Structure formats: C-alpha cells, structure tokens
C-alpha cells in the first residue's frame, strides 16, 4: 500500500518535472494526493508502533517541497523539487535513490 502510493507519487512528480509548469499543476496535485495518502499509511503504522517515524518525517518534508512547487513563493524551486524526487525514488523499490 505504502509502496503503491510512493510509486504513484513518483510517477506524477516525474511528469511535473518533465513539463515544468509555472505553478498549480495537475501533476503536482496528483503527487501531493499520493504523498498525503502515503503519509496517512505511515501515520497509522507509526501509531501502531509498526513503523519507524523517520520515514513519516521524510514524507512530511517531501510534502512541504512538492507543495512549494504547487504553490510557489515566486518561481517553482526546481532544484529542490528534483532533490525531493530523488528522496522519493529511494522509497520505491527498483528506483534509484538520491
């Protein structure tokens, strides 16, 4: 379940990076949606003591960066978004991490 959400989020983020929207973009929205679902899964697991909180912290940070692409202050921070993409890829089996 968590892997599926991470994979979906990564696919959406890759689309956003490919076409570089100026802001408020459907792919960013999709990436956020899946990251938030991933957050919910990790939160539930953490509350049950079934997962470490570090991963949850990472996902929260990813949400902050992707949200900054979706609702930027000024220009979209593409270098940071691409770095976030690397971190997210590290959560998806078979993908290269940062």
Partner 1 sequence: MPSLGATFGRGAATMSLWDLANADCIVVMGSNMAENHPVAFRFVVDAKTRGATVIHVDPRFTRTSALADIHAPIRSGSDIAFLGGIIRHLLEGDLWFHEFALRYTNIAHIIEDGYRGPEEEGGVFSGFDPETGTYEHDTWQYKGKLAQSPVSEHRVQEQEATAGEQESMAHGPAPQDPTLQHPHCVYQIMRRHYARYTPAMVEQATGCTADIFLKVADALARNSGRERTGAFCYAVGWTHHTTGVQIIRAASIIQGLLGNIGRPGGGIMALRGHASIQGSTDIPTLYNMLPTYLPQPNAFHDHGTLQQLLKTETPATGWWHNLPKYMVSLLKAWYGEHAQAANGWGYDFIPKLTGDVSQLPMTLAMAAGVIKGQFILGQNPAVGAVNSEMVERGLAKLEWLVVRDFAMSETANFWQKGRRVQKGETTPADIGTEVFFLPCALSGEKDGTVTNTSRLVQWHDVVLDAPGDSRSDLWFIYHLGKRLKELYAGSTAPADAAIQALTWDYPERGEKQEPDAEAVLREINGYTVADRKQLPSYKQLKDDGSTACGGWMYCGIYPADGRNLARSRTPDGPGGPGSHLGWAFAWPSNRRTLYNRASADPDGKPWSERKRMVWWSEAEGKWTGTDIPDFEDTKRPDYRPDWSKRPHGMDALGGADPFIMEVDGQCMLFAPSGLADGPLPTHYEPVESPVRNPLYPGEQRNPGAKLWARPGNELHAPGDPRFPYVLTTFRLTELHCGGITSRVAPHTAELQPEMFVEVPPELADMLGIKHLGWAVLLTLRTEIEARAMVTERLRPFRINGRTIYQIGVPWVFGWQGYARGDVANALLAITGDANTSIHSTKALTCGLRAGRVGHADGGHG
Residues that bind partner 1 (CB under 8 A): 20, 22-24, 29, 32-33, 36, 53, 57, 63-65, 67-77, 80
In terms of CB distance, is 4 or 71 closer to partner 1? 71
Burial of 51 (0-12, 13-18, 19+ CB in 10 A): middle
Q: How far is the CB of 62 from partner 1 (least distance, A)?
A: 11
Angle CA(87)–CA(60)–CA(37) in degrees, nearest 5? Answer: 95
In terms of CB distance, is 17 or 95 closer to partner 1? 17
Q: How far is the CB of 25 from partner 1 (least distance, A)?
A: 11
Angle CA(38)–CA(98)–CA(66) in degrees, nearest 5? Answer: 45
Q: How far is the CB of 29 from partner 1 (least distance, A)?
A: 6
Report the 10 Å Cβ neighbour count for 42.
Answer: 24
Q: How far is the CB of 94 from partner 1 (least distance, A)?
A: 27
């Amino acid at each position: 379940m968590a892997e599926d959400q991470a994979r979906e989020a990564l696919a959406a983020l890759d689309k956003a990076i490919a076409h570089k929207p100026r802001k408020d973009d459907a792919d960013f929205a999709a990436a956020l949606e899946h990251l938030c679902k991933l957050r919910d899964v990790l939160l539930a697991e953490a509350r049950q003591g079934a997962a470490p909180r570090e991963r949850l912290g990472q996902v929260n940070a990813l949400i902050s960066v992707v949200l900054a692409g979706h609702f930027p202050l000024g220009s979209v921070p593409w270098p940071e978004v691409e770095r976030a993409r690397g971190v997210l890829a590290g959560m998806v089996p078979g993908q290269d991490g940062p």
